[in-house]
Amino acid sequence: MSTTQVMEREHKPPAIVVLRDRLLERRTELEAALDGSGISVDRFIRTAVTAATMQSELVSDVSFQSLWIALLQACRDRLLPDGRQGVIVPYKRQAKWIPMYQGLLQRFAQSGEYTWVTARVVRDDDKQWDLWIDEKGEHFTHRPGPGRGNVTATYAAAGNPSGGCTVTEIHEEEMQRIRAMSRARGEDSPWNNWTDEMRKKSALRRLCKMLPGPVDEMITREDEDENETPLAPATPMLSSPKPPARARGAANALDQFAGEIEPPVEDREPVMKDEFAGHAPPTQVEPEQPPQEDPTMLVRIDTARERGKQARIDGMKSTAVPPEYREPGRSKEAIAWKTGWGEGGANA
């Protein structure tokens, strides 16, 4: 590498800084999109930058235009792309906004049309699970157990002001078919990182189709997107074009987004010109302090702590640590879950 190239590389800001600056430049647009949501624009930008730090593909494999559209969709849904209310995932070089379980619950709560709404996973070590219908309507009983057993079903239910409720149940065999049809299949996909939350979301989606309410538009839009975009083939077709070379490692991937590393000329795809082309970041950018720990782990630990808080509020015992946190290499998340469980008792 020549001296000139080294000097140019040293003066170019990291991709995450470029992304942050682009969002700050469009602060007014984001503020207008978030109007009435109760979410401050500063908080939304911080969450978006954290999401991109956690998934380097959002700045290496997708265009800023598609990421911007996904962020505007999150604003329209009045949700944060924080991994709990919703996530942004890369799919076929496009950023895709996906509302999550907690996001759907929040939309139900915002409507005020239902007295309560819930979604739960049923395991074979639960104390009791029963769903029945009689002349008075639908009824169910669920008494969770230790939470270590295999998943047998997932249900969602909502109560109405008249005292009745609507319940829907998805057996695990059918849930696995739903998972197999998911378009996001990488290691960082929601189904891999938040399996139980995606189960609950699937049950809530089915419940939403049974009820008039605040999330009809959100669910309809997701269904339309899935119908318009076919599933990616399991194996590449022989006639498929060669994909562009991708920088390996999180640091190189972020640099590629900032324009420091480009794929070979013969591997590049035509780039559509848009209003963001030729963007020049500010000349004076304060260097960010290097993270003390893997950003992905920090987000997962935070998610585990929040899940622990909710578990305490839901009446679960401190020993009911989710099975996925008992797997090798996830002890930090298990500790965070127990910490959150204790905090849930303090905040309840």
pLDDT in tens, 88-106: 988 888 898 888 878 888 8
Average pLDDT over residues 73-84: 89
Instruction: Tell me 261's DSSP state.
Output: S
Task: Provide the domain limits for residue 68.
Answer: 3-99+245-267
Phi, psi of 281 (to 5 degrees): -70, 160
Sign of the CA dihedral 6, 7, 10, 11?
Answer: negative
The reply to whether 87 falls in a domain is yes
Same domain, 150 and 206: yes
Same domain, 71 and 193: no
pLDDT tens digits, one per residue of 235-260:
332 333 344 444 443 344 444 444 43
The total number of structural domains in the chain stands at 3
Kindly state the helix (H) or strand (E) to which residue 137 belongs, with its residue range: strand 137-143
Same domain, 153 and 34: no
Last residue of a domain, one of 205, 232, 259: 232
Question: What pLDDT, on a 0 to 100 scale, did the predictor assign at position 259?
Answer: 42
The reply to whether 276 falls in a domain is no
| pLDDT range class, residue 47, cuts 50, 70, 90 | very high
The reply to whether 91 falls in a domain is yes
Count CB atoms within 10 A of the CB of residue 312: 22
Question: What pLDDT, on a 0 to 100 scale, did the predictor assign at position 227?
Answer: 39
Question: What pLDDT, on a 0 to 100 scale, did the predictor assign at position 169?
Answer: 95
**Which comes out higher in pLDDT, residue 129 or 277?**
129
Question: What pLDDT, on a 0 to 100 scale, did the predictor assign at position 255?
Answer: 41
Same domain, 94 and 65: yes
What are the strands of the beta sheet with 116-123, ordered from one edge?
Answer: 116-123, 151-159, 165-171
pLDDT tens digits, one per residue of 194-246:
889 889 989 988 888 887 765 556 665 565 454 333 333 333 323 333 444 44
Average pLDDT over residues 283-294: 46
Same domain, 21 and 111: no
According to DSSP, the residues that pair with 170 across neighbouring strands are 154
- Rounded Cα distance between 74 and 15, Å, is 22
Same domain, 151 and 199: yes
Mean pLDDT of the chain: 74
- Give the type of residue at 180: A
Residue 156 has pLDDT above 90, yes or no: yes
Same domain, 54 and 131: no
Residue 267 has pLDDT above 50, yes or no: no
Q: Which of 11-20, 31-40, 136-145 has the lowest mean pLDDT?
A: 11-20
The reply to whether 280 falls in a domain is no
Same domain, 211 and 109: yes
Say whether pTM exceeds 0.85: no
The reply to whether 288 falls in a domain is no
Instruction: Pick left, alpha or beta for residue 329 (phi over 0 → left; psi -120 to 50 → alpha; otherwise beta).
Output: left
Question: What pLDDT, on a 0 to 100 scale, did the predictor assign at position 24?
Answer: 94
The reply to whether 277 falls in a domain is no
Average pLDDT over residues 68-74: 93
Same domain, 91 and 117: no
Same domain, 83 and 142: no
The reply to whether 81 falls in a domain is yes
Q: At what angle do helices 15-25 and 250-258 cross, to 10 degrees?
A: 50
Same domain, 192 and 93: no
Same domain, 220 and 107: yes
Average pLDDT over residues 154-159: 93
pLDDT tens digits, one per residue of 112-136:
788 888 999 999 999 999 999 998 8
The radius of gyration of the chain from alpha carbons, rounded to an integer in Å, stands at 22
**Which comes out higher in pLDDT, residue 72 or 302?**
72
The reply to whether 155 falls in a domain is yes
Question: What pLDDT, on a 0 to 100 scale, did the predictor assign at position 270?
Answer: 39
